[in-house]
Amino acid sequence: LSVRFGCNEYVGIAIGGFAAMVSAYGFYSHIEQASLVYVLVCCTLFMIPGVPLINAVIDTINNHILSGITRAIRTILIVGSMTLGMAMALYFSPMPAFSFVDIKPHVLSVEQIIGSFMAAASFAVLFNAPVRLLLSIGIGGVLCVFIRNLLAVEFGFSIPGATFVGAAVMSVIYVKVSTWLRTSSTIIIVPSAIALMPGILY
């Protein structure tokens, strides 16, 4: 909508969130109600502004305060637009309202590995990363998600603590890997870490 018809970017995001959740209702009769909540929420996660959020933090840490604040405000506007579209869809929802979605892993499974690989590699495509790097980025997503889930399930870490360790370990490793791949570390680290973004919490 924004590119083809010149629609306001934030209005387009709101409409996209609404359309995605309405489409997810097509599975209403095929999925149990407890699982449908995850379908409804996760279908809009591809619009989570992970890159503007990360850039806002990086700019602020590097003392580019004005740039960091500008990107942070843009992140808030995007999240607000998504929330509006999702709230409109939920208003017409035939299922009861919900206020909590459990995102803490309770078991380690192959599905988590596959999902994290697909999440990181898919975001890399949206991030316009070179095709030759998609495999490495997917593996990076698997690495940080596996470390987070392992710490949370086996060692009782909190989600924030486990997420920090997972992202830190992956980032340190991929700073070195980026020299082997002859590319910027940002290109492979940011999409890999996106698999850790707590989109449901937005």
Q: What one-character-per-residue DSSP string does 108-142 give?
A: --HHHHHHHHHHHHHHHHHTT--GGGHHHHHHHHH
Same domain, 63 and 138: no
The answer to whether residue 73 is domain-embedded is yes
Same domain, 115 and 191: yes
| Mean pLDDT (the chain, rounded) | 80
Number of structural domains, the chain? Answer: 2
The answer to whether residue 114 is domain-embedded is yes
Q: For the full predicted model, state whether its pTM sits above 0.75.
A: no
Range of the domain at 124: 110-201
Same domain, 116 and 196: yes
Q: Which of 46, 64, 91 is the last residue of a domain?
A: 91
The answer to whether residue 99 is domain-embedded is no
- Of 41-50, 68-77, 86-95, 123-132, which has the strongest mean pLDDT? 68-77
Average pLDDT over residues 126-150: 89
Q: Return the DSSP state at 200.
A: G
The answer to whether residue 130 is domain-embedded is yes
Same domain, 135 and 53: no
Rg, the chain, Cα only: 18
The answer to whether residue 100 is domain-embedded is no
pLDDT in tens, 23-35: 777 766 666 666 6
**Cα 88 from chain centre:** 21
Tokens at residue 159, please? 């989600």
The answer to whether residue 3 is domain-embedded is no
